[in-house]
Amino acid sequence: MNDLALKAAENLSRIRESNPLVHNITNYVVMNYTANALLSLGASPVMAHAENEVEEMVSFAGALVLNIGTLSDPWIRAMITAGARARAMGTPVILDPVGSGATTLRTRTATRIIREAGVTLIRGNASEILSLQQEGSGTRGVDAVDTVADAANMASDLATELGVTIAITGPEDIVTDGTRTARILGGHPLMAKVTGTGCTATAIAGAFAAVDPDPFTAACSALAFFGLAGQRAGEQASAPGSFMIALLDALYTLTPEELKSECHIDVLPPAETAGETGKLSR
């Protein structure tokens, strides 16, 4: 157990005591499941993407989550508008750059949101994150293709360049703000067999950011919680369908004390990475 594990338990307690409102502008594929995951955690989700209401809606929220999974021009405008309002209010903005690097539209939209919407935390897989640094290099859609070591080093540089915290999720999760870096272990192979687990992790990071003003510790807390919930769900489920239900149950039943004692968060020295050959895919 370390200070980050203690902080994760404290943040989980805060969420369940305060039920923070998390404003999501997210994709059609995951909208329902994401809302249920936030409810199971103890947060209050709202899914509002109409351009003419997002400024008002985000003014009530503890965090704003922007997800570019199913883009359209009106949604892009809504994300920029909501993000600008959140930035003016000091509300944390969490970006999930789904598929960034796969198409020009996705990559340019992600970089525009980072530039204009006051993003404080970015969560993605390795190829999505690396595309933000290497615009135009290309990826295999939403499949990660880079090693954990390369991703961690480049994410640290990118976090410093952009002034944000970056979370890369996969079999080993990496969180860095350019100065501090942590590795979080957990999850289950079934997480890669269902759609939307990464998007759900981003939404959960929004809930933790709503109660913790430090994006780095908020992200570590969120991924430690989600990873442990995924691990428990995988132990109960036999296949992808039952896993989705078991994951919601695990998000609901996992206690702060269990999170504190069972999560795996390692603080890494600046030069250390998570390994030379591992792949990130969640």
Q: Binding site: what residues are annotated?
A: 47, 123, 169, 196
Q: Are the beta carbons of 272 and 174 closer than 8 angstroms?
A: no
Half-sphere exposure of 275 (CA within 13 A, CB side): 14
Residue 262 identity:
E
- Cα dihedral sign for 194, 195, 200, 201? positive
DSSP string, 186-253: ---GGGGGSTTHHHHHHHHHHHHHHH-S-HHHHHHHHHHHHHHHHHHHHHH-SSHHHHHHHHHHHHHH
Residues belonging to the binding site for substrate are: 47, 196
Question: Strands 172-176 and 181-185, how do they pair?
Answer: antiparallel
- Residues annotated in a binding site for ATP: 123, 169
Contact 214, 222 (CB under 8 A): no
In which residue are the tokens 């989980």 written? Answer: 12
Find the helix or strand (DSSP H, E) in which 83 lies.
Answer: helix 73-89
Alpha helices in 101-166 (DSSP H): 104-116, 126-133, 148-162
For residue 121, which phi and psi values (nearest 5 degrees)? -145, 135
